[in-house]
Homo-oligomer: A and B are copies of this chain.
């Protein structure tokens, strides 16, 4: 345990792909909780694609991080001091409002207690947290899959995608993975994707056509960009497109996103294209966690994580994620879990 609080603060906004120098690691005192607050020590911190949006200026669905502020992000750890009746030292807690730091002063309204019986605490940042719940609600409700549907998932081995593929397979769909590289695709096959398409291997359209002989009924899109266009060529009547992420657009902030448009195709196919954001379902977390943890317990869901070591690794872990080098949910181990 540390008696200082190490914090990654944003120094400057990146113009395109972020660089490690956009953040600076500073040390400060361990905070004391104010009335009604909780201070917790991080065991695991998360890096997620949405964080790219938070370091751009300009309007999005959440306030951006200003230079000088602690970088935003989720974490899971152990309460060390509490001035709130619902939390006691030793409680395992998760919050999307942790920040890239050892010790966080948490707002109890944005903090949930993690039940250690449900699985390793790090799962609270992955399959039993925002990414898993995103997969659960976005796929099942916005995607509206039916048995026999062909379901294509981009970033198929990622924190969200791997859950979508397994849920699709469990409910009798044919899951098709789009991911970069043989290792990711091997993992996708292992967990139940029927077939994989390597978007880095060239001839994306041909490979996708071969992988979807009966067309595409549901597209779970984490990327936008050229993968989206290749999928649109193959959608079936009344296809559903879930816009869950747009990582292909993230490192061109401020530039207009131009390319193929799909108006005519949307009409001809009577397709439904809908945006999804976790915050809209966060209040229903318990409902999703009950199902996901049961599937995990029964061995019907698996979850792969990619762990970087030490808070020093935060920017590098984030850049790994943005470049697609991670395999599975990218986490950073910050301090030991309590015995």
Given contacts A243-B266, A258-B260, A263-B246, contact A275 B280 (CB under 8 A): no
Q: Decide if A273 touches B274 in the complex (CB within 8 Å).
A: yes
Interface check A277, CB cutoff 8 A: yes
Q: Decide if A249 touches B264 in the complex (CB within 8 Å).
A: yes
Q: Decide if B274 touches A228 in the complex (CB within 8 Å).
A: no
Q: Decide if B261 touches A267 in the complex (CB within 8 Å).
A: no
| Contact partner, A270, options B256, B259, B270, B275, Cβ 8 Å | B275
Given contacts A249-B264, A261-B259, contact A273 B270 (CB under 8 A): no
By beta carbon, the residue of chain B nearest A269 is: B275
Q: How far is the CA of A276 from the CA of B60 in the complex (A)?
A: 29
Q: Decide if B264 touches A270 in the complex (CB within 8 Å).
A: no
| Contact partner, A249, options B221, B245, B263, B275, Cβ 8 Å | B263
Q: Decide if B267 touches A260 in the complex (CB within 8 Å).
A: no
Interface check A272, CB cutoff 8 A: yes
| Contact partner, A266, options B261, B271, B275, Cβ 8 Å | B275
Given contacts A260-B257, A272-B273, contact A267 B280 (CB under 8 A): no
By beta carbon, the residue of chain B nearest A242 is: B267
Q: Which residues on the B side are within 8 Å of A267 (C-beta)?
A: 243-246, 275-277
Number of interface residues, chain A, beta carbon within 8 A: 32
Interface centre among A61, A224, A263, A266 (most CB of B within 10 A): A263
Interface check A268, CB cutoff 8 A: yes
Chain A residues numbered 86-145 whose CB sits less than 8 Å from any CB in chain B = none
Q: Which residues on the B side are within 8 Å of A271 (C-beta)?
A: 274-275
Q: How far is the CA of A270 from the CA of B244 in the complex (A)?
A: 9
Q: Decide if B264 touches A274 in the complex (CB within 8 Å).
A: no
Q: Which residues on the B side are within 8 Å of A277 (C-beta)?
A: 267-268, 270
Q: Decide if A270 touches B263 in the complex (CB within 8 Å).
A: no
Given contacts A61-B268, A268-B60, A268-B61, contact A228 B263 (CB under 8 A): yes
Q: How far is the CA of A256 from the CA of B264 in the complex (A)?
A: 11
Q: How far is the CA of A210 from the CA of B276 in the complex (A)?
A: 29
A173 to chain B, nearest CB (A): 21
Q: Decide if B264 touches A257 in the complex (CB within 8 Å).
A: yes
- A234-256 vs B, Cβ < 8 Å mask (1 yes, 0 no): 00000000011110010000001
By beta carbon, the residue of chain B nearest A277 is: B270
Chain A residues numbered 173-224 whose CB sits less than 8 Å from any CB in chain B = 221, 224
Interface centre among A61, A221, A249, A262 (most CB of B within 10 A): A262
Q: How far is the CA of A249 from the CA of B261 in the complex (A)?
A: 10
Q: How far is the CA of A246 from the CA of B266 in the complex (A)?
A: 10
Q: How far is the CA of A274 from the CA of B243 in the complex (A)?
A: 13
Complex A-B: 16 CB contacts under 8 Å = A224-B263, A243-B263, A243-B266, A246-B263, A246-B267, A249-B263, A257-B261, A259-B261, A266-B273, A267-B276, A268-B275, A270-B274, A270-B275, A270-B280, A272-B273, A272-B275
Interface residues of A (CB under 8 A from B): 60-61, 221, 224, 228, 243-246, 249, 256-264, 266-277, 280
Can you add 4 more A-B contacts, CB < 8 Å, to A243-B267, A244-B267, A258-B259? A249-B263, A256-B260, A258-B261, A266-B273
